[in-house]
Amino acid sequence: MSLYDIRQNQRISKAQTENKRTARTVQESQESIEELRQSVQKLSLACQAMWQLLQTTSGLSEKDLLEALQNIEEKNAAQNCAKCGRVQQSKKPNCLYCGTPFPEEATTMSCFQV
């Protein structure tokens, strides 16, 4: 076997090892995504059940819920800095990271799609 063949075999072995490592990472990621999906489904059902209980016991309406969500969203609106790109969770007039002033109507990232 030539030196070239030995080197090629080493490269093939290294590539196969990396492929196995990547396959494990993909599998772990898929499992994590599935766990998160199930958690979101459970949380969604719990929220629906709590909302149903609130409606029947307190007389709140769908409009009340939407207004509460909007108030929370406005309090937690995130701003993207045009200069450094970082997200800021407060309504300060300037970026906390680089000091760039935010425009009057800063772009916000919605927490809820209502």
* Phi and psi based region of residue 43 (left: phi greater than 0; alpha: psi -120 to 50; beta: remaining): alpha
The first and second tokens of residue 94, run together, are 């300037």
Q: Going residue by residue through the chain (114 aa), what tens digit of pLDDT does each one get?
A: 899 999 999 999 999 999 999 999 999 999 999 999 999 999 999 999 999 999 999 999 999 999 998 888 777 677 788 888 888 766 778 888 888 888 765 444 444 443
Among candidate residues 114, 106, 103, 33, the one with its CA nearest the CA of residue 73: 114
The first and second tokens of residue 99, run together, are 């000091």
Identity of residue 56: T
N residues, the chain:
114
pTM above 0.85, yes or no: no
